[in-house]
Amino acid sequence: MTDPVALTADLIRCPSVTPAEGGALVLLERLLSEAGFACTRVDRGETANLYARWGAQGAAKSFGFNGHTDVVPVGDLAAWSADPFGAEIRDGVMYGRGATDMKSGVAAFAAAAIDFVRDTPPDGAVILAITGDEEGDAQDGTLALLDWMAEQGEQMSVCLVGEPTCPEVMGEMMKIGRRGSMTTYFTIRGVQGHVAYPHRAVNPVHATAALMHRLSGHVLDTGTDHFDASTLAVTTIDCGNPATNVIPAECRATVNIRFNDAHSPDSLQRWLRSEADQLATQTGTTIDLRFSVSGDSFVTPPGALSDLVAAAVTAETGVTPALSTSGGTSDARFMKNHCPVVEFGLVGKTMHKVDECVPVAEIEQLKAIYTRILSGYFA
């Protein structure tokens, strides 16, 4: 049997901080090729990606897994109690960067896929799409894999993303969708002047503060059938002014909106432009806006796929997972344009933290869940 714990350790020992490949995809390509998967490196720009398929291309029924081997930086090395790339096990817990997010998830679904196709070869295809650019800007990762798949005629019928999804207890939550995310960058320009003569200046800081107060106090919605209420957060206000007796000419601010399916990026942009235009007229400033959309909101309606995953989780953990759309963005926002997608993975309490870690028993449990999902899908 393919040991997901040993594979997790091997992957953690690969220093694959975005965008470095670090040897992680080389390791997985070798392992999957030896198991009979047709493997293709789908690198784009500085990003390494791997596509692996067992079974015939164009199979009528195919189950896909998606995940990433890149990790965030270590941070303060002195704060770690273990080597971040050492995969040390203490008291049944493995420590290392990526232990939770998400080298353990990749190891679990790779091990499950290898053993499943060997022991019970399915009538269909098992596909693994693994990227090295989920923690970065994500433009050359899963998107590159999907572009390549479209060119080559490769197709997943359904997909499971192995990101951590459980807040506290293994099995308690799966994701059937995600909120959208949009960042807006404001540049507010006034007229520089002496603070003793404010009537000769137009203060962009005051205008910025008023605009941010107006936006942050607005209720976007109260939630929808599958989503909590949308949120807007002001993340920075900065004019870079070192002088205490000068009204600056310019101020900048940034807000991030996490939005549900009551909104679209276009509708939110129209609202923000309207608010900015009103404030500019009131204050005599000019306001420029720039938008960056990292993902639209989406939901995979509860049905056969979510039922299959939930049943496997309950069978292995005794816990019935809640169907959630909470949390940040993931590469499921890209996969949803290709096929129905859900997410299920480990408890995510330590992801991105110092001393990131995972109980080894939960890695084994996750492999068992993924194996049961594959068995149920191809039954």
Instruction: Decide: 133 and 70 in contact? Cβ < 8 Å.
Output: yes
Question: What type of residue is 181?
Answer: S
Instruction: State yes or no: is 70 an active-site residue.
Output: yes
Question: How many beta carbons lie within 10 A of that of residue 77, not counting itself?
Answer: 10
Q: What pTM did the predictor assign?
A: 0.91
**Helix (H/G/I), strand (E/B), else coil: 367:** helix
Q: Would you state the pLDDT for residue 86? A: 98
Calculate Rg over the CA atoms of the chain.
24
Q: What is the DSSP letter of 321?
A: P
Domains and CATH numbers, the chain: 4-178+297-378 (3.40.630.10), 180-295 (3.30.70.360)
Residues of the chain with pLDDT under 70: none
Question: What type of residue is 177?
Answer: G
Instruction: Decide: 106 and 11 in contact? Cβ < 8 Å.
Output: yes
Q: Would you state the pLDDT for residue 137? A: 87
Nearest to 7 by CA among 132, 84, 86, 107: 107
Cα separations in angstroms, 197 against 190, 191, 200, 226: 14, 12, 6, 53
Instruction: Decide: 132 and 24 in contact? Cβ < 8 Å.
Output: yes
Nearest to 251 by CA among 171, 190, 302, 200: 190
Instruction: Decide: 167 and 173 in contact? Cβ < 8 Å.
Output: yes
Torsion (CA) 70, 65, 57, 125 in degrees, nearest 10 = 140
- Residue 208 phi/psi, 5° resolution? -65, -45
Cα separations in angstroms, 205 against 135, 161, 201, 296: 33, 43, 11, 31
Per-residue pLDDT of 27-75, as tens digits, reads 999 999 999 999 999 999 999 999 999 999 999 999 999 999 999 999 9
Per-residue pLDDT of 274-290, as tens digits, reads 999 999 999 999 999 99
Give the active site residue among 70, 133, 154, 331. 70
Q: How far apart are CA 319 and CA 342, in angstroms?
A: 18
Q: How far apart are CA 259 and CA 221, in angstroms?
A: 9
Nearest to 352 by CA among 20, 13, 17, 82: 17
Instruction: State yes or no: is 134 an active-site residue.
Output: yes
Write down the H helix ranges in the chain: 4-12, 24-34, 103-119, 142-152, 204-216, 265-283, 304-317, 332-335, 360-378
Give the active site residue among 101, 134, 261, 356. 134
Instruction: Decide: 330 and 207 in contact? Cβ < 8 Å.
Output: no
End-to-end CA distance of the chain: 21
Q: How far apart are CA 356 and CA 99, in angstroms?
A: 6
Q: Which two tokens stand for residue 259?
A: 């939005």
Q: How far apart are CA 311 and CA 119, in angstroms?
A: 22
